[in-house]
Each structure stands twice: as structure tokens, then as C-alpha cells.
Copies of this chain bind each other. A is one copy, B any other.
Amino acid sequence: MPGSGTDRTRPPVQAAAPVIILVEPQMAENIGMCARAMANFGLSEMRLVAPRDGWPSGGGLKKGATSAASGATYILENARLFASAAEAIADLNHVLATTARERGQMKRVVTPAEAMPPLADRIGGGERVGILFGRERIGLTNEEISFADAILTFPVNPAFASLNLAQAVLLTGYEWFKATGGEPPFRESVLSPPATRETVLSMFDYVEAELDICGFFPPGKKPSMTANLRDILHRLSLTEQEARTLRGVFKSLREGPRRRKPDAP
């Protein structure tokens, strides 16, 4: 999917949204890719708990993170650093913890599609909500999971359940964006309106009359063949423009090669 749909004239989506908390991420590149995934879906607040390779405080970002973020550097620049997951969630009202494995915790398990509409309600009501994502290989500790109100997990093929960190953030952001009314940047605004019945019927009349002249219908077959043809053409649900185009096609075929104007000497 090419990246060229970005419209820099539109303001970034910056409404209240869940805080994304990465607990001890190993690779700066992964932090950058998470920032990019967040930006794709209007999430902007990132918190980092003890990144393995450190994190420059006060300006100067990790190089690998910046290039992986593909322009979502405003998220990296504003990321806040914490020493532990407990400190990173201290000011929040509601917390989800992501995990790919059953942990035997007595906790509700929700998918992103289930979780996001109620989270949007909470955030709309003024609550601060965060989502914990664990270390690349080993995830969150059981203690970190115990901090959460519910477990967030992803519907994946059980035989191939491994999602990387940025993919998990991506699916979370995607469902958040959908739950808050997110739409694609464009729809079929270029379509002309559906054809009126009059346009379609007049096209039918034209083509059937011309086919009659051409001797297309074997004796006695006209009614059934006409019904069949109308059935095919109706199924197209043509727009006004398309119905005119198709009529032009029939007309051009019927009239054959146009007589060219003689070339100027």
C-alpha cells in the first residue's frame, strides 16, 4: 500500500485517545514503527517504560526510531519516559494489558473490536485510558498484567499467532479509529448519481430497436431475449454517466466507421 495518500494540509487528528504504553521495548526501530502506527489512527500519546537501549531525554531522538517512524516524530518527541509500568499508569483511570497467551489471570479478555467502543465512552466521559504493550519476546509480566482492568488480545490464527509489537499497536489503533467514526480519506465522490429509470429504459428501447433492424432476434425469440438482455444490463446498477456511455457504445457499433473528413492537401 503506497504511502502517498497523506494529506499534509489536513490537521493531525489529536482528540483525546488512549495512551500507548510500551514496556521495556528492545529495539528503537520498533518504537518508531509503533509511533507510525499510532499516527495512522490518530493516537498521539506514547509512554516508554525503561527502553532497553535507553532514550535520550530532552531532545535528540534515537536514530533508528526516527527513521522507522516515517514522519511521526512528533509522537516520539512527546513520548514520556518512566522507570516502571506502575509509574507509567499512575495517573490513568482505566488500563488494558495486551497479551498473546493465556496467563491464568482472573480477568476479562476482550478483542480490540470489543474493547474500543466502551473505551471511547470512558474517554468521552473524561477518563484517562492507557493500553500496556509488553516486551518484544516475553510480553508483560504477570504483575504488570495484574495492574490492568482487562486483558486485550487479538483474533489470530492459533497456528500462527505471533504479531509483532507495531502490528499489535496498529490493530489497536485501527479499531480505535473505527470505533470513533474514522472513515477512509476518500469515498466514491467521483461517481455520478445512479441512472434514472428513464435513461435506462430509453437505452433499452434504442438498443432493442436497432438489434431488430439488424435481424439479431430469431423469429419468436425477441421477448425472451429482450428480457434476458435487460436482466444483464439492469444488474450493472449503472450511474447516469455510465448509462450514457453504454448507449454511445451501442450507437457507435451500429453506425460503424465514421466517414473521415478528407485530409487537407
A222 within 8 A of B: no
Which residues of B lie under 8 Å from residue A186 when comparing CB positions?
101-102, 109, 153
In terms of DSSP, what is the predominant structure of the interface of chain A? loop
A86 within 8 A of B: no
Whether the pair A101, B242 counts as a contact (CB closer than 8 A) is no
Binds B, one of A54-62, A154-162, A212-220: A154-162
**Contact partner, A39, options B4, B160, B168, B184, Cβ 8 Å:** B160
Indicate whether A159 sits within 8 Å of B105 (C-beta atoms), given known contacts A2-B136, A100-B1, A100-B3.
no
Whether the pair B1, A40 counts as a contact (CB closer than 8 A) is no
Whether the pair B174, A171 counts as a contact (CB closer than 8 A) is yes
Q: Report Cα–Cα, A168/B138, bound state, in Å.
A: 26
Which residues of B lie under 8 Å from residue A70 when comparing CB positions?
162
Which residues of B lie under 8 Å from residue A8 when comparing CB positions?
159
Indicate whether A159 sits within 8 Å of B5 (C-beta atoms), given known contacts A104-B190, A188-B109, A239-B106.
no
Produce 1/0 per residue, A85-125, CB < 8 A to B: 00000000000001111101111110101000000000000
Which residues of B lie under 8 Å from residue A99 when comparing CB positions?
1-2, 5
Q: Report Cα–Cα, A106/B195, bound state, in Å.
A: 14
**Contact partner, A1, options B41, B108, B168, Cβ 8 Å:** B168
A221 within 8 A of B: no
Count chain A residues whose beta carbon lies closer than 8 angstroms to a beta carbon of B: 76
Whether the pair A3, B42 counts as a contact (CB closer than 8 A) is no
CB distance from A70 to the nearest CB of B (A): 6
CB distance from A249 to the nearest CB of B (A): 15
Q: Show 14 residue pairs from A and B whose CB-CB distance is below 8 angstroms, ordered by the A residue.
A: A1-B99, A1-B100, A1-B133, A1-B139, A5-B101, A5-B161, A12-B159, A102-B186, A106-B190, A154-B174, A156-B182, A161-B185, A171-B174, A174-B174
Q: Please name the 10 residue pairs, one residue from A and one from B, whose CB atoms are nearest each other, closest first.
A: A3-B162, A5-B100, A1-B168, A2-B139, A5-B161, A39-B160, A102-B186, A12-B159, A158-B185, A155-B182
